[in-house]
């Protein structure tokens, strides 16, 4: 497990650049990334940084109240077409995630899915879900831990 300390938006963007540069070029199913961490730990900020790099034109905001947001990826050299951002905080269990067309979106290899609070619904995940852990240190500092792929 690798860990880095992020102290500002620029450093979060640098982490996002590294993440995007190491995305797999092809997959049989969607790439699913679980974002684990407390409120305010940087999960949505990370997704915003990745979306910017993937040339998403819409403003990426937390999907807390709508549960799921889908964005078109406009980066020509990307094998992904849609970025899907899910907030599972208000979901009771994996059955609720299935109601969001989980089987359809998770089996589409053209989707990259970021899911906040994955621990609430993880019983429906395949074993290939990658996780990134966010820890709030102070107002300006976050610790991010992840497994290298």
Q: Quick check: 124 and 118 in contact, CB under 8 A?
A: no
C-alpha 100 chain-centroid distance: 16
* CATH number of domain containing 27: 3.40.50.300
pLDDT band at 108 (very low <50, low <70, confident <90, very high): very high
Which residues lie closer than 8 Å to 38 by C-beta, 6 or more apart? Answer: 134, 135, 136
pLDDT at 40 over 90: no
* Whether the predicted model's global pTM rises above the 0.85 cut: yes
Q: Quick check: 83 and 53 in contact, CB under 8 A?
A: no
- Predicted pLDDT at 8: 93
CA dihedral 38, 61, 118, 74 (to 10 degrees): -140
Give 135-141's long-range contacts (Cβ < 8 A, gap of 24+): 135/37, 135/38, 135/41, 136/37, 136/38, 136/40, 136/41, 136/42, 137/5, 140/7, 140/8, 141/5, 141/6, 141/7
- Predicted pLDDT at 149: 59
User: What total number of domains does the chain contain?
Assistant: 1
Of all residues in the chain, the percent with pLDDT exceeding 70 is 99
For residue range 118-140, what is the model confidence (pLDDT) as tens digits?
999 999 988 778 999 999 999 99
Q: Structural domain of residue 33, as residue ranges?
A: 2-146
Average pLDDT over all residues of the chain: 92
- Predicted pLDDT at 9: 92
């Amino acid at each position: 497990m690798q860990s880095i300390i992020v102290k500002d938006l620029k450093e979060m963007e640098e982490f996002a650049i590294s993440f995007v540069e190491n995305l797999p070029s092809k997959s049989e199913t969607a790439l699913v990334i679980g974002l684990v961490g407390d409120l305010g730990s940087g999960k949505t900020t990370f997704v915003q940084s990745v979306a910017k790099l993937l040339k998403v034109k819409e403003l990426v905001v937390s999907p807390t109240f709508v549960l799921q947001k889908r964005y078109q990826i406009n980066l020509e050299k990307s094998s992904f077409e849609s970025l899907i951002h899910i907030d599972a905080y208000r979901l009771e269990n994996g059955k609720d995630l299935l109601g969001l067309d989980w089987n359809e979106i998770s089996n589409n290899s053209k989707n990259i899915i970021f899911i906040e609070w994955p621990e609430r619904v993880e019983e429906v995940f395949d074993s290939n879900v990658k996780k990134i852990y966010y820890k709030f240190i102070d107002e300006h500092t976050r610790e991010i831990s992840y497994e290298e792929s």
